[in-house]
Amino acid sequence: MNRFYVTTPIYYVNDVPHIGHCFTTIVADTLARYHRLAGDETFFLTGTDEHGEKIAEAAALRDTTPQAVADEYSQRFRATWEALGFSFDRFIRTTDPDHVRNVQAVLTRVHEAGDIDFREYEGLYCVGCERFLTDRDLVDGRCADHERAPEPRREGNYFFRLTRYREWLAEYIRAHPDFIRPERYRNEALAMLREDSGLEDFSISRPKSRVTWGIELPFDPDHVCYVWFDALINYLTGIGYPDAPDFDALWGATQHVIAKDILKQHALFWPAMLRSMGLPPFRHLNVHGYWSVDGRKISKSLGNAVDPLLMRERYGFDAFRYFLLREMVFGVDANFTEEALVTRANADLANNLGNLLNRTLNMTERFAGGAVPSAVAVGAPEAEVEAGARRAATAVHGAVAEFKFHDALAAIVAFASDVNRYLDARAPWKQAKREGGTAAVHTTLYTAAESLRWIALLLAPFLPEAAPRILAQLGLAASVAPGSLPREDARWGALAAGAPIARGAPLFPRIERADPR
């Protein structure tokens, strides 16, 4: 059996879930659903990152404990992901006891390998980044990410000897061209590894005299672990490192999904840490771009961080999910507006796919007694529809393998358009008026219904709420079984004649832009 392991970053508990977090999780969820339906043994990990100075600061301002702050925000993430129906197998927290044990075990192993040493360090420190910055990180003397001036600090910290792995890592990335994808981020990682890039060893500890909220170093109880060294290890803890019986098989199938702002930590820090531990690198690092909202960067000060629960309430989560996967070319920045969401959902879902389903069901009720008819007069037009279904399946599988979700959805919608044109050309309402036209009508309606079955199965990983409803309206079980994703060689005609259809409210009603008041 093939295995598939997909992860999101663990989200830092100083914010509430917004469109950026949601998109990454939608991608991972889509992949997990796809591989489960393809029959692969699949594990999907997400969770929250809970240690560090920012959490301690937030707790002090609120006169509470860091644990209470972490608990509150972690629960908000988990509750939101559950409300949105994400199919994760584990929601991990860096305060989980097994993760704390693993971090300390890894620290011990890397320290014993000679890759951690203690140094006095002086530089400019950004609390928002929780790290020392270099001149490359500053814009007009301020942190480029947090727009605040860093503060000068001098302290003793433990450092991971990242530069020891520079040559090995550059060679590995060159030898495995798809290790980091899309290619632009592979090239960016290689640029970070150049001799003139300013790459330095990175600090992995903070003194307890300044920060107490963290995992204690096993070889020095006066220091706690830096959040990034701590956080990356969650990908191991989540699948039972070090002794789960299927750990090696799952680790060999690892797909990390991240946004581009944390490329350095995942493309450089993490492979070097794994090398030091004696573990092989993950299989792929998949990097997507940023979402802006109404053409502006998401920021707390602007108050434009789109709430996914609000989008579900206004438009339905499948419509929101569809828009994000269809609109963003993976790896490239994209812009979100509610107007664009409404336009896309109405064009692709309501006017195309929803229209195909509604007219097929209506005509089946009218001309076939409300049950799926038999195809008894199959000819060249039906053969072309079948060929189109197979082409769509091939396109979907190829696009998902390359993280081209927009192309996969475009192929499904294009096939729905083809079937709508087939119905227009065959015109069952005219066929029914001809003497002996029943066989032609039934064949046309069966072909449309079988096409909808293929569409529902191909759509299931992307729109997990809508796809089962399509199947149910066709008289099938409202679920998609593992191994049921159709491929180009799948059986055409598996929809059994005689099944009673189940008309209901329109699956994708036309929507209007919600009043934001």
SS3 category, 216: strand
* 300 in catalytic set: yes
SS3 category, 259: strand
The catalytic residue among 176, 297, 430, 433 is 297
SS3 category, 245: coil
Residue 249, burial from CB neighbour count under 10 angstroms (0-12, 13-18, 19+): middle
251 and 360 in a single domain? The answer is no
In order, the DSSP letters of 82-133 are HHTT---SEEEETTSHHHHHHHHHHHHHHHHTT-EEEEEEEEEEETTTTEEE
pLDDT digits (tens, 9 = 90+) for 348-375: 999 999 999 999 999 999 999 999 999 9
Residue 262 has pLDDT above 70, yes or no: yes
CA dihedral (52, 53, 54, 55) positive or negative? positive
Place of tokens 């195809």: 375
pLDDT digits (tens, 9 = 90+) for 177-205: 999 999 999 999 999 999 888 899 999 99
Give the pLDDT of residue 348: 97
Q: Which residue has the higher pLDDT, 279 or 517?
A: 279
Question: DSSP class of residue 509?
Answer: -
How far is Cα 72 from Cα 101, in angstroms, rounded to an integer?
23
Average pLDDT, the chain: 94
The catalytic residue among 51, 111, 146, 256 is 146
Tokens of 199: 């790459």
Give the pLDDT of residue 236: 98
* 35 in catalytic set: no
Average pLDDT over residues 375-383: 94
Contact present, 308 and 317 (Cβ < 8 Å) = yes
pLDDT digits (tens, 9 = 90+) for 71-88: 999 999 999 999 999 999
The catalytic residue among 21, 35, 223, 284 is 21
Residue 504 has pLDDT above 90, yes or no: no
* 208 in catalytic set: no
Give the pLDDT of residue 514: 60
275 and 407 in a single domain? The answer is no
In order, the DSSP letters of 465-486 are THHHHHHHHTTS-SS--TT---
Residue 227 has pLDDT above 80, yes or no: yes
CATH of the domain at 447: 1.10.730.10
For residue 447, give the nearest of 415, 484, 410, 422 by alpha carbon.
422
Q: Residue 296 domain-assigned? A: no
Give the pLDDT of residue 52: 92
pLDDT digits (tens, 9 = 90+) for 447-480: 999 999 999 999 999 999 999 999 999 999 888 8
96 and 33 in a single domain? The answer is yes
237 and 375 in a single domain? The answer is no
* 284 in catalytic set: no
394 and 280 in a single domain? The answer is no
460, amino acid identity: A
Residue 13 has pLDDT above 80, yes or no: yes
Q: How many CB atoms lie within 10 A of CB 313?
A: 11
237 and 344 in a single domain? The answer is no
Give the pLDDT of residue 517: 44
Tokens of 350: 């309501």
Give the pLDDT of residue 483: 86
Tokens of 135: 């001149």
Give the pLDDT of residue 374: 95
Residue 61 has pLDDT above 70, yes or no: yes
* 143 in catalytic set: yes
The catalytic residue among 35, 51, 54, 143 is 143
Q: Residue 311 domain-assigned? A: no
Q: Residue 294 domain-assigned? A: no
Our CA dihedral for 463, 17, 150, 220, rounded to 10 degrees, sits at: -100
Residue 439 has pLDDT above 90, yes or no: yes
CA distances to 36, 42, 72, 466 from 88, in Å = 12, 10, 20, 19
* 21 in catalytic set: yes
59 and 129 in a single domain? The answer is yes
286, amino acid identity: N
* 126 in catalytic set: yes
Q: How many CB atoms lie within 10 A of CB 242?
A: 14
**Length of the chain in residues, anyone?**
517
110 and 19 in a single domain? The answer is yes
Residue 130 has pLDDT above 70, yes or no: no
Last residue of a domain, one of 288, 316, 351: 288
Give the pLDDT of residue 298: 83
* 22 in catalytic set: no
The catalytic residue among 126, 284, 397, 442 is 126
The catalytic residue among 176, 300, 430, 433 is 300
pLDDT digits (tens, 9 = 90+) for 407-422: 999 999 999 999 999 9
Give the pLDDT of residue 503: 86
CATH of the domain at 274: 3.40.50.620
Give the pLDDT of residue 512: 82
User: What is the span of the domain harbouring residue 88?
Assistant: 3-288
275 and 408 in a single domain? The answer is no
263 and 376 in a single domain? The answer is no
